[in-house]
Every structure is written in structure tokens, then in C-alpha cells.
Amino acid sequence: MVDYFLIAAGVMALLAVIVVYRIVKSLLKVLVLALAIGTVLLGAFAFMVVGDYEDIQQRLNTEKNLMMLIDEDKIVTGIIVEGSKTTTADEEQVNSAIEGLKSGEFSDEYFKVVLFNQSITQESRIKQLGIDEELLESGTPDERAQEFSIIVKETLGDPLFFATQYKKGNIQVFEETATFTALKWIPMKTISKLLGKAADKSKEVVKEVPEKKESLLKKAQNLY
């Protein structure tokens, strides 16, 4: 009687193991399939975002844009870039842009308003350009604009370097579209691959989740 009970218990245990195994196997298949689909969808999403980013980059290099360099407590300089033409932004143009950023009413005069953090001048790639920091800090308006234009040209000339600095918080773009918001969370390796460049092209090391810095807009808003 006991032997039959043990045999029955063993059979039931075996059946239970088989059922659990099949359930787990099915769940694993579903999980693998879900991961595969998720990877494809994320890849497609990243491809679209980077593609849109490249289009924006092209427009940053061809259309009229306002670039400003922000220090801790002041606007160092501003320039208006339109294709190969660069002019110094006067105080009225800068103030008007800042007021627009404060209110969230972006002027259609510019494709984008781009704020550069002063800390970008400490990046090794920018240091290699031989920027005269004394002129950048205390030169005439045109001298400061001239030094800043070198930084802008170098940054806009390489979409990957621009993305690197954007993710690090050294650059902010207004109006910030969904493309730039999504760009913050796409790994640099993926961006580099999709842009068709080597990962070391930017000569920078970026954390996957960038350190949050004080908003450049918040700094600018406190100036006026």
C-alpha cells in the first residue's frame, strides 16, 4: 500500500516538474521574443531619432541660428550664424532672445537658439583649438564673438561631438524638440554607429546616463 503511494507521489511530482518545465520554457520563449521585438523597435526608434538629428544638424549649419556662451553669472557673448556668415549679436538681440526663452515664446527669426556652457572651453578638443581665453573673457564684443565662433564652428562641424556635449549638459537647444529629449537616453555607442563614425571620434568619454547640470536657461534667466 505504501509502495503504491510512493509511486503515485513520484509520478505526480514528475508530472509537476514536466508542467513547470513547459511553463517556464514557454515563458522564456515569450521573453526572448519580447526582447527581440523590443530590440528591433528600439533600434528603429534610435535610427529615426538620429536621422532627424542629422537633419537638424544640417539646418543648424545652413539656417539662421543664435548661439550664446553662458558663464556662471553672465552672458559672455552671442553670435548669429547663418550658413558661412557669422555676425556678433548685439545686446538687444540677446535680451530679446532671453525674454523669449523665459516666456517660452520662441521667435521664428531663428531656427534654433543654442546655449553653450562656459565649461565647454575646458574640453580637450576645444583646448586644442588655441582659444584665447583672455579675449573670450574680457575682449571687445567682436573679439569675444570671434573666439566663440571658433568653438561653434568646431562643435557644429561634428554631429557626434555636438551630441556628446549636449548629453553632458554643455549645450542646450531651444526649442527643444522630442528628438533632443530622446537623444539624452540613446547610448553614445548607438549614436556613433548610426552616424557612421568611430566611437573615439569625439575624443570624449560620456556616461550612459549623463550627470545632470544646472540648466543653462536657468542661468541665463537670472541675468536679466
Reference 163, options 201, 133, 220, 122; nearest CA is 201
pLDDT at residue 205 tops 70: no
Q: How far is CA 25 from CA 29, 34, 43, 125, 211, in A?
A: 6, 14, 27, 51, 40
Give buried/exposed letters for 9-42 (b at 16+ CB in 10 A, else e): eeeeeeeeeeeeeeeeeeeeeeeeeeeeeeeeee
Q: State mean pLDDT over 113-133.
A: 92
Cell of 25: 520554457
- pLDDT, tens digit (0-9, with 9 covering 90-100), for 149-185: 999 999 988 888 998 899 899 999 988 887 787 878 8
Query: How many whole angstroms separate alpha carbon 71 and alpha carbon 73?
Result: 6
The pTM score is 0.68
Peptide bond into 175 cis (omega under 30): yes
Across the chain, mean pLDDT equals 78
Residue position matching grid coordinates 549679436: 89
The radius of gyration computed from the CA coordinates of the chain, to the nearest angstrom, equals 27
pLDDT at residue 212 tops 60: no
Residue 211 binned pLDDT confidence (cut-offs 50, 70, 90)? very low
Q: Where are the domains of the chain?
A: 59-221
**From edge to edge, which strands make up the β-sheet containing 75-82?**
85-88, 75-82, 64-70, 113-117, 171-174
Contacts of 216 (CB under 8 A, 6+ apart): 70, 115, 116, 117, 169, 172
